[in-house]
A and B are shown apart, each in its own frame.
Chain A
Amino acid sequence: EPEVTQTPSHQVTQMGQEVILRCVPISNHLYFYWYRQILGQKVEFLVSFYNNEISEKSEIFDDQFSVERPDGSNFTLKIRSTKLEDSAMYFCASRGQGHYNEQFFGPGTRLTVL
């Protein structure tokens, strides 16, 4: 069964450093998402991406964040200058064409900012 994959599973970084979280969505999917979950809190929407551009973003997704689909298979989330409060689990999801399709989630990347 096709699945969304994410790398790395755990990333530790120093405050102020740039990180890139990588996702490989399901191959024929067209809609891509990033969510995050701070420990003990809700899963929060960050950004959605369709047709090579951001279709919606939340207030969390400020200028420090960017997304890219560089090669038609990977979908990346970059945090330019990490802050302590960026420590969270980051989930990638993808969805196929069609209103009734569900989002398939990856296993997540745990980001720890020291």
Chain B
Amino acid sequence: AQSVSQHNHHVILSEAASLELGCNYSYGGTVNLFWYVQYPGQHLQLLLKYFSGDPLVKGIKGFEAEFIKSKFSFNLRKPSVQWSDTAEYFCAVNGASNTGKLIFGQGTTLQVKP
């Protein structure tokens, strides 16, 4: 069965610090990978997605993620965070199912201090 693991449950950073959130998945076949963000009081929004091609994916608001197939990883990065990036971040994978269902990681709460 597929699973997704996010290593960091709660991250606290100061503004302008760099961010890297880890995500590993378990599934040996072709995968589609996603990062979703949930700002306080809002719904889940897509930050970026990987289906194929260039393993370095750029998303909205300056975020990027790198798919490393050999490590089963899809880490999220941002060179310089802002207070407005305070949110919960979810990594998700869609692989074995052809219905498009997403398997989510447990989420990482990011708190950015001004």
Contact = CB atoms under 8 A, between A and B. Distances in A.
Given A55-B99, A56-B97, A95-B100, A107 B43 contact: yes
Interface in B41-69: 42-46, 49, 51
Given A105-B44, A107-B43, A33 B107 contact: no
A30 B97 CA distance: 17
Q: Is the interface of A mostly helix, strand, loop or mixed?
A: strand
B93 to A, nearest CB: 11
A48 B106 contact: no
A42 B106 contact: yes
B105 interface: yes
Given A43-B90, A106-B43, A108-B43, A100 B51 contact: yes
Interface in B62-114: 90, 92, 97, 99-107
Contacts of B34: 102
A105 B43 CA distance: 7
Given A31-B99, A42-B107, A48-B100, A102 B43 contact: no
Interface residues of B, number: 21
Interface in A80-104: 91, 95, 99-100, 102-104
21 contacts: A31-B99, A35-B104, A42-B104, A42-B105, A43-B44, A43-B92, A43-B102, A43-B104, A43-B107, A45-B102, A48-B100, A48-B101, A55-B99, A56-B101, A91-B44, A99-B51, A100-B49, A102-B34, A102-B46, A106-B43, A107-B43
A99 B51 CA distance: 9
Contacts of B100: 31, 33, 48, 95, 103
A44 interface: yes
Interface string A29-51: 00101010000011111001010
A88 B77 CA distance: 30
B103 A41 contact: no
B106 A41 contact: yes
